[in-house]
Chains A and B, each alone.
Chain A
Amino acid sequence: GDSVTQTEGPVTVSESESLIINCTYSATSIAYPNLFWYVRYPGEGLQLLLKVITAGQKGSSRGFEATYNKETTSFHLQKASVQESDSAVYYCALVSDTNAYKVIFGKGTHLHVLP
């Protein structure tokens, strides 16, 4: 079945450093999947960070970027300069038509940004 694998945490970086959280997926669909990053900040609920539904396209939000690469089946999350407020748990997810459009999540990556 479809699956998502992402960087195991926790990941610790210092403020102003660059960040990459890896996400690779496995999906059988030709037309899909659609790819998402969700984030859970401390004390808040899980929420959408960004999404991309077209291969080759890039999504961005809050300084984060992710490019949908169908050749490498990847959707890595990157940021050039992290801030302490980026400390959170990040989840990569996919939706595909071959599994009734259910949402498959990776296990999450806990990011700690040191001041």
Chain B
Amino acid sequence: DAGVTQTPRHEVAEKGQTIILKCEPVSGHNDLFWYRQTKIQGLELLSYFRSKSLMEDGGAFKDRFKAEMLNSSFSTLKIQPTEPKDSAVYLCASRDSAETLYFGSGTRLTVL
């Protein structure tokens, strides 16, 4: 079975650019999460979809971060405009019916 696929693995952006991160969840999983991972803050929830419905839009992140789930097998996270403080690893995860999360390998974003 294919796991969660995230692309690209690495992204370098200039301050002010728009970037789009992509995620393909495990087939058959109904829930999808986007997290930002940093050493200081740990895992911060950015967005959460339940059966393609947006349940959490990230609170403090909502002004520049927008996640979409175009269909059950594809999601994007747009950051617009990027700022240097956005440099982090962005993780996508899908969840099975037993509530276990399956994570992708992540996208490492560097904003210059």
Q: Which A residues are in CB contact (< 8 Å) with B91? A: 46
How many whole Å from B75's CB to the nearest CB in chain A? 15
Tell me if B101 is interfacial: C-beta within 8 Å of chain A: yes
Q: Which of A39-66 contact B (CB under 8 A)?
A: 45-48, 51, 53
Decide if B42 touches A103 in the complex (CB within 8 Å): no
Pairwise interchain contact A100-B50, C-beta atoms closer than 8 A: yes
Identify the closest chain B residue to A43 (Cβ). B105
Per the CB 8 Å criterion, the residue count for chain B at the interface is: 23
In contact, A102 and B101 (Cβ under 8 angstroms): no
Interface class of chain A by DSSP: strand
Whether the Cβ atoms of B48 and A105 lie closer than 8 Å is no
Instruction: Indicate whether A107 reaches chain B with its CB closer than 8 angstroms.
Output: yes
> A95 contacts which chain B residues (CB < 8 A)?
99
User: Which residue of B33, B104, B106 contacts A103 across the interface (Cβ within 8 Å)?
Assistant: B33
Residues of A within 8 A of B104 (CB): 45
Chain A positions within 8 Å of B, measured between CB atoms, are 34, 36, 38, 45-48, 51, 53, 91, 95, 100-108
